[in-house]
Amino acid sequence: MPTEIGDDLIELTRSICEKSLRPVVDDVEARAEHEEVFPREVFRTLGRAGLLSLPYPEELGGGAQPYEVYLQVVEEIASAWAAVGVGVSVHSLTAYAVHTFGSPEQQEALLPDMLSGEQLGAYALSEPLAGSDIAAMTTRAVPDGEDWLIRGRKAWISHAGHADYYTTFARTSDDGGRGVSCFVVPGDAPGLSFAAPEKKMGLHGDTVREVIFEDVPVTGDRQVGELGRGVPMALAGLDAGRLGIAAVATGLAQAALDVAARYAGEREQFGRTIASNQGLAFLLADMQAAVMSARATYLQAARLRDAGRPFGTEAAAAKLVATDAAMQVTTDAIQVLGGAGFTEDFPVARYFREAKVTQIFEGTNQIQRLVISRNLLASL
């Protein structure tokens, strides 16, 4: 359960959201649809408040907070600005490999900067032809004495071109899923370049593009974990990452619900507010139930993780339930607002577009169903 410190952190997050995120989100998202605009200063503000490193040990620069608290902070951020909520989740994921699989020397050398609040990471896993099928990746790291040279392309990478480092998975042998390893590549490494930003239907403030590795040199001390164990490392990290996306989706759904409920309580038709119509009131009730279910599901998984118990199935279920809820609640919010919901005068149209991708990244919801069903049947 959240501690007093955890409650204070959630309140601090709400305050920062009100002062630094909500006043600028509409403008940045609108401009970023047509030009490259990345809210780097917003991440610095969150970092200086200690909100980019919450689930990691204090002695390494983290906040030493339970995952339950961290995810509630992510939800609060996402309710104000979904693209930034996604960015916080991605950044946390980038430090996972070093924290969980790195040597003590690597943790001491790398994590303080990663968790300083001044740096922002990117997670270079997916490729143009290797999304959910991680073992199909072709980006390759070849030995160069005691060091490495990485060549290949990564796709759909958040923060690409703006990150200070790239937690990168590359093939070190042709041994299928046992031939992938993990590296931490500095953001200013020679040979590292970027394609044009993807033109997306939402989350415009989250710059996404291909990362191109052209014989990028990486020192041997930045190869993390056992050689060839990159796939299980990535999959373990994605369990935690899925909870981050579940929290983002819950915050997005909550934001849509808040707008819809407020509008329904103010909009009058036939001499009374539309909220007084039972049909619409019941729709709002279903939206509220969906948000509450999403939140309860990700919190259950977080508590298992905090207790050191297996949580992979619960993480997949949380991602599935929360993102499907976000899609449904944002759709219903547009319906509550009617024609106004179809315009840019209210943010629900943006919420709707943003909700769609939550069902896709960190493993599509079809992949989540595959994970859940396999784990269920394996336990019989």
What is 232-378's CATH number?
1.20.140.10
Phi, psi of 150 (to 5 degrees): -110, 135
> What pLDDT, on the 0 to 100 scale, is given for residue 132?
76
CB neighbourhood size of 103 (10 A): 12
Cα–Cα distance, 74 to 105 (Å, whole number): 30
What CATH number should be reported for the domain whose range is 121-229? 2.40.110.10
Is the predicted pLDDT of residue 1 greater than 60, yes or no? no
Pairing of strands 140-144, 272-273: unpaired
Is residue 141 within 8 Å of 181, Cβ to Cβ?
yes
pLDDT tens, position by position, 105-117:
999 999 999 999 9
Is the dihedral angle over the CA atoms 45, 49, 50, 51 positive or is it negative? negative
Least trusted range by pLDDT, from 91-95, 126-130, 215-219, 349-353: 126-130
d(CA 27, CA 252): 18
Q: How high is the mean pLDDT of the chain? A: 94
Give the pLDDT mean for 126-145. Answer: 89
pLDDT at 314 (0 to 100): 97
For the entire predicted model, the pTM comes to: 0.94
Same fold, 4-114 and 121-229: no
At 129, give phi and psi (nearest 5°).
Answer: -115, 15
Task: Indicate the domain borders of the chain.
Answer: 4-114, 121-229, 232-378
Residue 135's pLDDT band, with cuts at 50, 70 and 90, is confident
Checking if the pLDDT of 379 tops 90, the result is no
Q: Running DSSP on this structure, what letter comes out for residue 196?
A: P
pLDDT value, residue 4 = 78
User: How far apart (Å, rounded) are the C-alpha atoms in residues 183 and 124?
Assistant: 10
Share of the chain above pLDDT 70, in %: 99
Q: 158 Cβ partners below 8 Å, 6+ apart?
A: 86, 87, 90, 122, 123, 206, 207, 208
Mean pLDDT of the region 122-132: 89
Q: Which of 329, 335, 345 is nearest to 256 (CA)?
A: 329
Residue 33 designated active-site? no
Q: Is the pLDDT of residue 380 over 70?
A: yes
The candidate with the shortest Cα–Cα distance to 148, out of 73, 217, 48, 249, is 217
**Radius of gyration in angstroms for the set of CA atoms belonging to the chain, rounded to a whole number:** 21
Mean pLDDT of 319-345: 96
Domain 4-114 in CATH: superfamily? Acyl-CoA dehydrogenase/oxidase, N-terminal domain (1.10.540.10)
Q: Name the active-site residue from 68, 75, 76, 362.
A: 362
The first and second tokens of residue 299, run together, are: 């919190």
Q: How confident is the model at residue 2 (pLDDT cuts 50, 70, 90)?
A: low
* pLDDT reported for residue 169: 97
Look at residue 147 in the predicted model and tell me its pLDDT. Answer: 96
Length of the chain: 380
Structure tokens that stand for 61 in this block: 């620069």
Residue 184 CA to residue 309 CA, distance in Å, equals 28
